[in-house]
Amino acid sequence: MSRTRADLLASYRSYLALQRDLSQHTVRAYLVDISDLLSFLGVGEGDAEPVDPALSTLDLADLRDWLAAMAASGHSRATLARRSASVRTFSSWAFEAGVLSSDVAARLRAPRVDNRLPGVLTTQQASQLLKTAADLASDGEVLAVRDLAIIETLYATGVRVSELVGLDVTDLDHSQRTLRVLGKGRKERTVPYGLPAAKALEAWLRRRGEICAVDAAGGALFLGARGRRIDPRAVRDVVHRLCAAAQVPDLGPHGLRHSAATHVLGGGADLRSVQELLGHSSLATTQRYTHVSAERLRSVYEQAFPRA
């Protein structure tokens, strides 16, 4: 069978989206990775050029050369690790699909990932951010009311942006103050939220119809300015804008997720609870993702160590 690069990527896209049930964002990232690999190898550069002859000779050394070239150009170890995982997924699929004669990437080892912790807001900075959002919403402008609900929900629950934009109104349980969240791998979890977030969400729901009188958004909890389900870029814009207004570090939505987890852990929660809150499948991920504040570490040390 003779396949062009476009044919190959289209087949791989279908596999990722339909059989692996990955998000559009993840599918797009995987396709970019494989396109980059093919370009590095000089495979399928012409529209009608078949990729099969070149891929039939692909070996582990080629893949290591690709990673080495990226490392030399300054890519982070985290990026290299992600791309290693991406090409292993492709190699496994391509072997099963008859594109490769063997699973050449099965023994490709990911580089060690840098375990430096991401940035986190202090509790004072988080409070300032939420106060700024509340002050802006007090003017009554409907999008400012929505933005307050978004920022409160991100911080109160630690949900990912992809999870936030996928929320429907029916995912809210007002009486229990919980959210039903569909996370990575379509795993469902229930996440609690506090009274400030509850008030912000209720205020937004009272005004939501002003943007979407006829619900063309399919019951989406958060809407964009044109009445459709909000997209991840718009959520990031909300966070960037409010961080600038509050004059706090702009760590983006992921920074709010990390801040929420850190503050919950610093308040006494155990790692297993934080793992459940964040929707991590592995506790090791949570251990890397969260850290105990210096203040809490000092407090625990003074209580536990006889010579403190």
- Residue 199 catalytic? no
The Cα–Cα gap between 34 and 94 comes to 11
- Residue 307 catalytic? no
| Residue (of 172, 160, 126, 145) closest to 236 by Cα position | 160
The Cα–Cα gap between 7 and 68 comes to 28
- Residue 12 catalytic? no
104, with CB counted inside 10 A (0-12, 13-18, 19+), is: buried
Q: Are 100 and 58 in contact (CB under 8 A)?
A: yes
Q: 77, 177, 199, 254: which is the annotated catalytic residue? A: 254
Q: 83, 257, 258, 263: which is the annotated catalytic residue? A: 257
The Cα–Cα gap between 301 and 62 comes to 51
246, with CB counted inside 10 A (0-12, 13-18, 19+), is: buried
- Residue 301 catalytic? no
Integer Rg of the chain from CA: 23
Q: Are 137 and 203 in contact (CB under 8 A)?
A: yes
The Cα–Cα gap between 285 and 159 comes to 15
- Residue 258 catalytic? no
- Residue 193 catalytic? no
Q: 3, 88, 208, 280: which is the annotated catalytic residue? A: 280
Q: 75, 180, 184, 199: which is the annotated catalytic residue? A: 184
Length of the chain as a residue count:
308
Cβ neighbours of residue 249 under 8 Å, at least 6 residues apart? Answer: 119, 121, 125, 243, 255
Q: Are 256 and 155 in contact (CB under 8 A)?
A: yes
- In angstroms, the Cα distances linking 124 to 116, 238, 239, 259, 274 are 23, 20, 17, 11, 21
Instruction: Just list the catalytic residues.
Output: 160, 184, 254, 257, 280, 289
